[in-house]
């Protein structure tokens, strides 16, 4: 039998709470112990690991760079223990599935379809969290499924592409009529709605049309694709949007594609899910459902 080398569980719980809150007092409140007890447990763990874990600051504490990965692993392991314990205590209780994605995908693609998943798997409760697309690769390791627009590899995870997608220019019918947009060259000089982190999309699209790309594109910049699409619906300009996010808006007439071609292809939706934890089978079923939902609606046309 392999002898495990493990630090004290109390010390790990104190470390996880302190790292998550970046504050010993908040960790103490959560664990119903004193501030000094948290400090003592952290010191115990640091002695066990032969090195400091936090940098002390005026307003709290900050994880040292080498401790960040350790925190994510400890957090994920404590979540697994919690899930496994709850399953044993209440075998018929709903299973919790932690899903993380970007705000745009949550609002425009996933949430409109979740009722179908609830009908398909009524004993699974989805806990949905969002993170900016620029930081999706750093999504908390405690998430069971991460849905994103590019592939990502992690140990003990599987990543699958479940939807093919493309980007196309869209605007409100009023905007198109007002500005007489009939060909790609007509877009030059009009407000081009851009998304931070995706600033190269418009230059790539103009490159496909054969037009010279302006050095500085006119138009506002938004944090998320769904914000740029909403701005386009409100006549603020032209958005270069993923088809999967604007399909229903196009069908309803709120948005209108400016041209059928060119399209920026190669994009897609990916699901990264755990394969080595108590909810691995539930995560796999959720990803299977994502594929069936994409096949019914929202793929390339």
| Cβ-based burial of 249 (10 A; exposed 0-12, middle 13-18, buried ≥19) | buried
Residue 301, pLDDT > 50, answer: no
CA distance 245 to 242: 6
Residue 271, pLDDT > 90, answer: yes
> pLDDT tens digit string along 168-203?
999 999 999 999 999 999 998 899 999 988 888 999
76 with 98, same domain: the answer is no
Handedness of CA 225, 165, 262, 182 (dihedral sign): negative
170 with 262, same domain: the answer is yes
Residue 117, pLDDT > 60, answer: yes
Q: CA dist 84 to 5, 88, 90, 127, Å?
A: 21, 6, 10, 17
Q: Helices in the chain by DSSP H: which ranges?
A: 9-21, 24-31, 35-49, 65-89, 103-105, 111-120, 173-179, 201-209, 225-233, 243-252, 280-296
140 with 164, same domain: the answer is yes
- Domain membership of residue 162 as a residue range: 94-301
Lowest mean pLDDT among 33-47, 132-146, 251-265: 132-146
Tokens read off for 299: 């793929």
From 21, 53, 87, the end of a domain falls on 87
Q: State the pLDDT at residue 156.
A: 75
121 with 269, same domain: the answer is yes
Give the length of the chain: 301
48 with 186, same domain: the answer is no
107 located within any domain: yes
4 located within any domain: no
pTM: 0.65
Return the ∠ at Cα 26 (arms to 22 and 30), rounded to 5°: 120
Tokens read off for 271: 């699901």
Tokens read off for 56: 């002390």
Helix (H) or strand (E) segment spanning residue 97: strand 95-101
1 located within any domain: no
227 with 301, same domain: the answer is yes
170 with 257, same domain: the answer is yes
3 located within any domain: no
> pLDDT tens digit string along 214-239?
767 878 999 899 999 999 999 999 99
35 with 127, same domain: the answer is no
171 with 101, same domain: the answer is yes
* CATH code of 282's domain: 3.40.190.290
159 with 251, same domain: the answer is yes
Confidence band, pLDDT 50/70/90 cuts, at residue 140:
low
113 with 143, same domain: the answer is yes
Question: Do residues 47 and 60 make contact, with C-beta atoms less than 8 angstroms apart?
Answer: no
From 87, 104, 134, the end of a domain falls on 87
229 located within any domain: yes
Pairing of strands 256-257, 192-195: unpaired
DSSP state at residue 263: -
Q: At what angle do helices 35-49 and 9-21 cross, to 10 degrees?
A: 110
52 located within any domain: yes
Work out how many domains the chain is built from and give that number: 2
Tokens read off for 117: 């998943």
Q: State the pLDDT at residue 137.
A: 61
CA dihedral 141, 268, 196, 179 (to 10 degrees): -160
* CATH code of 55's domain: 1.10.10.10
From 87, 117, 135, the end of a domain falls on 87
206 located within any domain: yes
47 located within any domain: yes
107 with 225, same domain: the answer is yes
185: number of Cβ within 10 Å: 13
């Amino acid at each position: 039998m392999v002898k495990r080398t493990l630090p004290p569980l109390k010390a790990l719980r104190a470390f996880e709470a302190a790292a998550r809150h970046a504050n010993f007092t908040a960790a103490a409140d959560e664990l119903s112990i004193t501030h000094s007890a948290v400090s003592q447990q952290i010191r115990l763990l640091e002695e066990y690991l032969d090195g400091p874990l936090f940098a002390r600051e005026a307003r709290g504490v900050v994880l040292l760079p080498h401790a960040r990965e350790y925190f994510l692993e400890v957090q994920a392991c404590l979540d697994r223990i919690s899930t496994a314990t709850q399953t044993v205590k209440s075998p018929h209780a709903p299973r919790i599935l932690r899903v993380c994605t970007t705000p745009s995908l949550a609002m425009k693609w996933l949430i409109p379809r979740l009722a179908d998943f609830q009908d398909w798997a009524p004993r699974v409760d989805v806990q949905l969290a969002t993170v900016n697309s620029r930081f999706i690769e750093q999504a908390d390791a405690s998430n069971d499924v991460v849905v994103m627009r590019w592939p990502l590899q992690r140990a003990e995870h599987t990543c699958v592409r479940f939807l093919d997608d493309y980007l196309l220019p869209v605007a409100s019918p009023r905007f198109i009529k007002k500005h007489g947009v009939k060909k790609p060259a007509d877009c030059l000089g009009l407000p081009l709605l851009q998304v931070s982190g995706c600033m190269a999309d418009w230059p790539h699209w103009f490159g496909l049309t054969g037009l010279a790309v302006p050095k500085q594109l006119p138009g506002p910049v938004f944090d998320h694709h769904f914000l740029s699409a909403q701005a386009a619906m409100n006549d603020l300009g032209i958005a270069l949007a993923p088809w999967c996010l604007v399909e229903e808006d196009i069908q309803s007439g709120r948005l209108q594609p400016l041209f059928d071609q060119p399209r920026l292809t190669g994009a897609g939706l990916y699901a990264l899910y755990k394969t080595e934890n108590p909810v691995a089978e539930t995560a796999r079923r959720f990803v299977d459902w994502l594929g069936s939902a994409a096949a019914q609606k929202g793929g390339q046309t």
